Amino acid sequence: MKIKTNMFGDIEIEEDKVIIFEKPILGFEEYNKFTIIDSLDDQVFYWLQSIEEPDLAFIMVNPNSFVDDYKVNLTESIQKKLSIDKVEDGILYTLVVVEDEGARIRTNLKAPIIINTKNRRAAQIVLESDYPTRHYLLDESKEKAVGVQGC
């Protein structure tokens, strides 16, 4: 199937690459069909592109690439909704926000996205755990400030 995107132009995706959000992304409840586009530059960042809205795309990362002890306990309700029978059926991502023209990059550890890799059903969940909504992956303003203070 061909989809329109503002970031990548018209692209062709296979039907089995369509992800259906059973529990939508907070603030974007009217959109539930997406696909994942791998970053061309690295294996860290991914694009979650809406199939329904060409302007809507999110940057995502696997949080375990940045936080060693990041753990998510799925409720029985979410496991049933997504038909996740085994841990290995699910893959976890967090949404990324790029600020100040790339000088600050953060991810929301409090509200990850879980995708069942077998049936392509997904949900954004809000964790009870004490994870931050703003976990900085890169913050050049703090790095520069530390460097100046250290002189």
- pLDDT-based confidence at 149, cuts 50/70/90? very low
Average pLDDT, rounded, for the chain:
89
Q: Residue 91: which of 110, 111, 72 has the closest Cα?
A: 72
Task: Give the E-state strand segments of 31-151 in sequence order.
Answer: 33-38, 45-50, 57-61, 90-99, 104-107, 113-116, 121-124, 135-139
The CATH number of the structural domain formed by 2-149 is 2.30.290.10
For residue 137, how many other CB atoms are within 10 A of its CB? Answer: 19
CA 72 to chain centre: 14
Q: What CA–CA distances, in Å, run from 62 to 43, 59, 70, 91, 120? A: 10, 11, 10, 8, 17
Q: Which two tokens stand for residue 122?
A: 């997904």
Q: Rounded distance, CA 93 to CA 88, Å? A: 14
Residue 142 confidence (pLDDT) above 90: no
> What global pTM score does this model have?
0.86
Q: Which residue has better confidence, 88 or 146?
A: 88
Residue 103 confidence (pLDDT): 81
Closest CA to 3 of 38, 40, 36: 36
Enumerate the domain spans of the chain: 2-149
